[in-house]
Amino acid sequence: MELTVYLAGQIHDNWREEVEKKAKERNLPLVFVGPQTDHERSDNIGEDILGKQPGNVYKDDAASDINNFRTQVLMQKSDIVIALFGDKYKQWNTAMDASTAIALNRPTIIIRHESLIHPLKELSNKANVTVETIDQALDVVGYIFE
Amino acid sequence: MELTVYLAGQIHDNWREEVEKKAKERNLPLVFVGPQTDHERSDNIGEDILGKQPGNVYKDDAASDINNFRTQVLMQKSDIVIALFGDKYKQWNTAMDASTAIALNRPTIIIRHESLIHPLKELSNKANVTVETIDQALDVVGYIFE
Amino acid sequence: MELTVYLAGQIHDNWREEVEKKAKERNLPLVFVGPQTDHERSDNIGEDILGKQPGNVYKDDAASDINNFRTQVLMQKSDIVIALFGDKYKQWNTAMDASTAIALNRPTIIIRHESLIHPLKELSNKANVTVETIDQALDVVGYIFE
Amino acid sequence: MELTVYLAGQIHDNWREEVEKKAKERNLPLVFVGPQTDHERSDNIGEDILGKQPGNVYKDDAASDINNFRTQVLMQKSDIVIALFGDKYKQWNTAMDASTAIALNRPTIIIRHESLIHPLKELSNKANVTVETIDQALDVVGYIFE
Amino acid sequence: MELTVYLAGQIHDNWREEVEKKAKERNLPLVFVGPQTDHERSDNIGEDILGKQPGNVYKDDAASDINNFRTQVLMQKSDIVIALFGDKYKQWNTAMDASTAIALNRPTIIIRHESLIHPLKELSNKANVTVETIDQALDVVGYIFE
Amino acid sequence: MELTVYLAGQIHDNWREEVEKKAKERNLPLVFVGPQTDHERSDNIGEDILGKQPGNVYKDDAASDINNFRTQVLMQKSDIVIALFGDKYKQWNTAMDASTAIALNRPTIIIRHESLIHPLKELSNKANVTVETIDQALDVVGYIFE
Amino acid sequence: MELTVYLAGQIHDNWREEVEKKAKERNLPLVFVGPQTDHERSDNIGEDILGKQPGNVYKDDAASDINNFRTQVLMQKSDIVIALFGDKYKQWNTAMDASTAIALNRPTIIIRHESLIHPLKELSNKANVTVETIDQALDVVGYIFE
Amino acid sequence: MELTVYLAGQIHDNWREEVEKKAKERNLPLVFVGPQTDHERSDNIGEDILGKQPGNVYKDDAASDINNFRTQVLMQKSDIVIALFGDKYKQWNTAMDASTAIALNRPTIIIRHESLIHPLKELSNKANVTVETIDQALDVVGYIFE
């Protein structure tokens, strides 16, 4: 039984590669999907496809159309969502993806640094499991196959 | 990950072939499905199967039963809907298929000529993305695989 | 038992008033809701609330946000949808509202002129009932209370 | 037709009172509900009811159980969600409530300061309408009753 | 707490009046709805509203549009469905209404004569309760209020 | 694209074999499933597994548990339902399966003899397509692959 | 805003009366519903309505039909479920009602004695809130109205 | 057609191995999944992954997060649920899993000893089939493939 995992969260470091590498080392039968991780491409995708927009609000909205399209397609193909909250930025996309996943009954794991416990407490409470490290998240997913 | 794409819209030119050819050139792992594109067959399918009907209303209703059956089966098998609005005809089937797809949470792209912006504005607003060309639509779908 | 009826369709003549007047004459316990019927206000509502937009596409999109918000709120409160197709314009909003209503299991009546039978045949086939006049539509709704 | 509006968002100033006051001035038939706005009570509600917990993580989790219970009950009774993002804090609860509302097909308005356009762009894109002021949000809701 | 009860089943005798009369005698807070019970009107309603159809198949289909519209509206307003199977006719509408109610999670009671046990066994098994008399059906509904 | 078809209906002749044979001759990529067609086994399955029951009502109920279990599993795996109504028996299982399929949005074809038009009119109206012969049903399904 | 609360759980003492009395003292706008609390009536309701059954298994199954009917009707009318686990009996009905409520997105509170923490841990984890006393459960519900 | 079966129930003996062995002997095309069956591992999984918790309540809650995550993932991949109730322990997880499966329309078989008929009667009544032995459960599943 192969499971598809959507990796929601920040696109500012290579945490997804770390997840994939470690999952491989554990021989977990997982396929990973997620958002566009090239930040510039993600911000520009609206103008890249639709052409110059009349200002930043419109550029952002055009990009969001396409980023949300991608997320919707891939999350509907996923069995599990792992959402990682880092220590920088607003990360409202991560909160949005995790909340959407939970509302649609996708089993969801949140990874967050200890310092985020308080501001994330209600969302963390609604997720299935909250952990602090990638290894712990893979421990949880790996537990399915024991 | 292979995705199935329902191509809703007019059946008066060969735009679906263009989509398929261009998707192939880009090596996108897509399977395409859609309505009957032989217009005459689509209009006559009710009488072709059920026999002569007592007038055009009844001929049309018989054909619609079977066209709607086909659409329902294939849209339920699809991950994405692309709906193209051309510059002719009422195109209410295209509007119906796009609206149904959106109501059923199928990620949806609308392709429409610039001249249709105003009459299509509410539907366009509900779709995930609206573009003007087939190439742009494939840019959007291709973005999933980046 | 009072029923709420959403009146989808063109906003270019006073057909909704006619429906309400005739429903009253028949003493049908109906409450009617529907889209903004002041066409100019409907087209300008985005700029009226959000301020000047940088061009017609953006003006239209801003208006659509708010028109779709209104429709979603009111259709969710409705027990029945009546959609009237007139003889002018693209009427894609009417097709969108009727299709959405059907996809969400709202019992739906279509009123359309005989000349529209063919282009509307698939949508007509999915609606519960298709009639040609307001009186017939009220006959159908009134039948519930017999 | 009276509508119930859930007011999601920060609990650090009296914006909800402003909404209610202005809605009253406009004679809008709205009932407002929302989260606990006494911040201290919200943070302590777990220990207030269940007693002393063994540390902050557990105190937070106990409070979240009860805050999420309240939100779930009240959002299920609501016809509309208005989510206000202020200029301080992480505001992940606001993002969570807005995302949940959207996933559950509750018509949703976001109010956010211009400075938040970029980080909020994907969520804003999924909401029905995004505005910058309380007055604009009430303009949108008031439009339903025109 | 008042409950609405849809009375599905044959329209060839006055069993619905008996149900209503007996419910009143027991002071049960129930509102009853159901199909058109004037058999001729039910069969002719299509032609009554839409005019002469070109043969019986079309007359029947037109009537069914409107009968199904009525049933869908009223069943969606109901808390409970009681379906009575008599000893005559095919009664496929009764089977259809009971099956639909069960598929939509409406609590359902079947009333059927002992002679129908075998042919009705799978449907009876899916309903909540199967009884043989109107009094027993009202015993079951009345039990809610004990 | 292979489709799974549930064949609901009578188990008194070999119509399912005819469907399968003809589908094969047409090279349609279909997998067929359906109820137990050995009538005696179907009636006795409750006692065959659970042992002697105290009378026919209980024997029937035990069999129905297991027949309904089988139908639920297989219908959930199906893309299409074909329901055949023959000229004998009550056939309430066929009506139940077709109604359930329609309520669960399974595209549904009814095959029925001309003599059954009137008693089956409302169910026929709710199905996608109604035909009179197995060949016509396969014409409809085959149309998907044109 | 009045809320309806389903009180699931044991029927061996008068805990429901205590809940209702205390809710009244707090002036909470709550309506309470629940299962039949006369244990003997609950066990005999099948035979009371349907007559003598051929043994205890059949007597129990007949009673369950009617008890489950009652629960389904009343839980569908409820906004909140409170499930109390006492210190005696298997209490599988309580577990069933709480689990069903959670699966259907009814906000759910569990009341259980400290001694039950371990065997109830997974269900408790899925409920919104778990408390030990009736007063705490009413604190939680009362918190909605603060 | 291969079916996935979730085996809910006690983890105190090797009944799952017996099911798998017997299914293999019958050549049934079944894949089996289920909860963690190493009782100690199941109880400790929270602390194994998240580290020492401040007392048993918190240890149990941490374990439940992860056990519920596993169950949710695997039950969503299953076509059938078999729930076995043994003669010891509270077995509320078994009741929870069976109830959840039924609420989510998973076809469900309960295996329970004769002594449990009365306390399990309402849940048993809601399941598709209730049997007393593993062989009978496999008879029921095997019947699908006859």
Sequential pLDDT tens for chain B (146 residues): 999 999 999 988 899 999 999 999 999 999 999 999 999 999 999 999 999 999 999 999 999 999 999 999 999 999 999 999 998 888 999 999 999 999 999 999 999 999 999 999 999 999 999 999 999 999 999 999 99
Task: Identify from D50, D96, D120 which residue to disrupt to test chain A contact, counting A C-beta atoms within 10 A and taking the largest count.
Answer: D96
* Owning domain of residue A89: 3-36+77-144
pTM across the whole model: 0.97
**Into how many domains does chain G fold?**
1
Report chain E's mean pLDDT, rounded to a whole number.
Answer: 97
Q: What is the DSSP letter of E103?
A: H
**Contact yes or no for D129 and C69 at CB 8 A:** yes
pLDDT digits (tens, 9 = 90+) for D73-92: 999 999 999 999 998 888 99
Question: What confidence score (pLDDT) does residue D89 get?
Answer: 84
Antiparallel, parallel or unpaired: β H3-9 and G129-131:
unpaired
pLDDT at F129: 98
How confident is residue E89, by pLDDT bands cut at 50, 70 and 90? confident
Cβ pair B30, B66 in contact under 8 A: no
The answer to whether the CB of D30 falls within 8 A of the CB of D108 is no
E107 touching G (Cβ < 8 Å): yes
B63, closest residue in chain F (CA to CA): F129
Q: F146 vs B38: CB contact, 8 Å cut-off?
A: yes
CA distance E25 to E3: 16
Q: Is residue C87 very low, low, confident or very high in pLDDT (cuts 50, 70, 90)?
A: confident
Q: Which of H96, H118, H129, H132 to mutate to test the interface with G (most CBs of G within 10 A)?
A: H96
Contacts of B92 in chain C (CB under 8 A): 91-92, 95, 119-120, 122-123
- Average of pLDDT values for D21-47? 98
Contact flag H117-G60 (C-beta cutoff 8 Å)? yes
Determine contact: H58 vs chain D, CB below 8 A: yes
Residues in H closer than 8 angstroms to F4, CB to CB, are: 1
* E1·G69 Cβ contact <8 A: no
Q: Is the pLDDT of residue E12 over 90?
A: no
Buried residues in G2-30 as b, exposed as e (16+ CB within 10 A): ebebbbbbbbeeebbeebbeebeeeebeb
Q: What is the mean pLDDT of chain F?
A: 97
* Residues E91 and E110 sit within 8 Å (Cβ to Cβ): no
* Distance (Å) of CA H36 to CA B103, G95, G116, G121, H12: 39, 21, 21, 15, 11
Examine the pLDDT at G89 and tell me if it is beyond 90: no
CA distance F29 to chain E (A): 29
Name the nearest CA neighbour of E47 among E38, E37, E36, E57: E57
Mean pLDDT of chain H: 97
Instruction: Answer whether residue A13 shows pLDDT above 90.
Output: no
H144 touches chain A (CB under 8 A): no
Q: Which of D1, D107, D136 lies nearest to residue C69, judging by beta carbons?
A: D107
Give the pLDDT confidence score for residue B88 in this predicted structure: 85
Q: Say what the pLDDT of residue D120 is.
A: 97
G vs B contact (3+ beta-carbon pairs below 8 A): no
Residue pairs spanning F and H at CB distance below 8 A: 47
Residue D29 inside a domain? The answer is yes
Quick check: D19 and D137 in contact, CB under 8 A? Answer: yes
Integer Rg of chain B from CA = 16
Instruction: Search chain G and give the residue with CA nearest H89.
Output: G119
Q: Is residue C42 part of a domain?
A: no
Task: Give the closest-approach CA distance of E91 to chain C in angstroms.
Answer: 21
* H61–G92 C-beta distance less than 8 A: no
State the average pLDDT over residues G17-40. Answer: 98
Looking at residue H105, its pLDDT comes to 97
Average pLDDT over every residue of A52-77:
97
3-state secondary structure string across G45-73 = HHHHHHCCCCCHHHHHHHHHHHHHHHHHH
**Disruptive mutation site among B43, B60, B92, B112 for chain C (greatest number of C CBs within 10 Å):** B92
Helix (H) or strand (E) holding E50: helix E39-50
H7-27 mean pLDDT:
95
Shortest CA gap A53–chain C (Å): 9
Helix (H, G, I), strand (E, B) or coil at A31: strand
Closest-CA residue of H relative to A81 is H73
Report how many Cβ contacts below 8 Å link chain F to chain G. Answer: 6
Q: Is H102 on the interface with G (CB under 8 A)?
A: yes
Does C58 contact chain A (CB < 8 Å)?
Answer: yes
Those residues whose C-beta lies under 8 Å from the C-beta of residue B106, and which sit 6 or more positions away, are B6, B75, B78, B79, B80, B81
Side chain identity at H79, as an amino acid letter?
Answer: D
pLDDT over 90 (residue A7): yes
Q: Does E136 touch chain G (CB under 8 A)?
A: yes
Structural domain includes residue A42 = no
CB atoms within 10 A of CB E21: 12
Query: Which pairs count as long-range contacts for B20-24, CB under 8 Å and 24+ apart, including other chains?
Result: B22/B134, B22/B135, B22/B138, B23/B138, B23/B141
Core vs surface per residue F33-69: b (16+ CB within 10 A) or e: bbbbbeeeebbebbebbbeebeeebbbbbbbbbbbbb
Q: Is D65 on the interface with A (CB under 8 A)?
A: yes
Within a domain: C51: no
pLDDT of F12 above 90: no
Spell out which residues of chain E touch residue F102, defining contact as CB-CB under 8 Å.
100
Residue D13: pLDDT over 90: no
* Pairing mode of beta strands F80-85, F3-9: parallel
Judge whether residue G13 has pLDDT over 90. no
* Percent of chain G with pLDDT strictly greater than 70: 100
Taking an 8 Å cut-off on Cβ atoms, the answer to whether E143 and G50 are in contact is no
Average pLDDT, chain A: 97
- For G37, nearest residue in chain E (alpha carbons): E146
pLDDT at G135: 98
B59 belongs to a structural domain: no
Cβ of residue D137 closer than 8 Å to a chain C Cβ: no
Question: What average pLDDT does the segment E38-45 reach?
Answer: 97
The answer to whether F61 faces chain H, any CB pair under 8 Å, is: no
- CB contacts of B3 in chain A (<8 Å) are 73
Instruction: Tell me the average pLDDT across D40-50.
Output: 98
* pLDDT given for residue F13 in this prediction: 87
pLDDT of residue F88: 85
Categorize the per-residue pLDDT at C20 as very low, low, confident or very high, splitting at 50, 70 and 90.
Answer: very high
DSSP D50-66: H---SSHHHHHHHHHHH
* Interchain contact F/A (3 or more Cβ pairs less than 8 Å): no
Write down the pLDDT at residue B67. 98
**For D56, nearest residue in chain H (alpha carbons):** H54
**A24-49 mean pLDDT:** 98
Average pLDDT, chain G: 97
Q: From the candidates H50, H58, H60, H64, which should be mutated to test the interface with D, based on the most D CB atoms within 10 A?
A: H58
pLDDT at A88: 85
Enumerate the residues of chain A whose CB falls inside 8 A of the CB of residue D100: 99-100, 102-103
Q: Is G92 on the interface with D (CB under 8 A)?
A: no
In a domain, C28, yes or no: yes
To the nearest whole Å, the CA of H61 is away from the closest chain D CA by 11
- What average pLDDT does this structure show over F67-86? 98
Mean pLDDT within F64-69 = 98
Q: Nearest by CB to B73, which of F79, F130, F136? A: F79
* Domain CATH for G99: 3.40.50.450
Question: Does residue H64 belong to the interface with chain G, where contact is any CB pair within 8 Å?
Answer: yes
Instruction: Tell me which chain B residue has its CA closest to the CA of residue A32.
Output: B1
Check pLDDT > 90 for residue G92: yes
Average pLDDT over residues F34-63: 97
Pairwise CA distance, residues C62 & B53, whole Å: 47
**The two structure tokens encoding residue H38:** 């190493």
Give whole-number Cα distances, A32 to A100, A112, B145, F98, in Å.
18, 19, 12, 39
pLDDT in tens, H33-66: 999 999 999 999 999 999 999 999 999 999 999 9
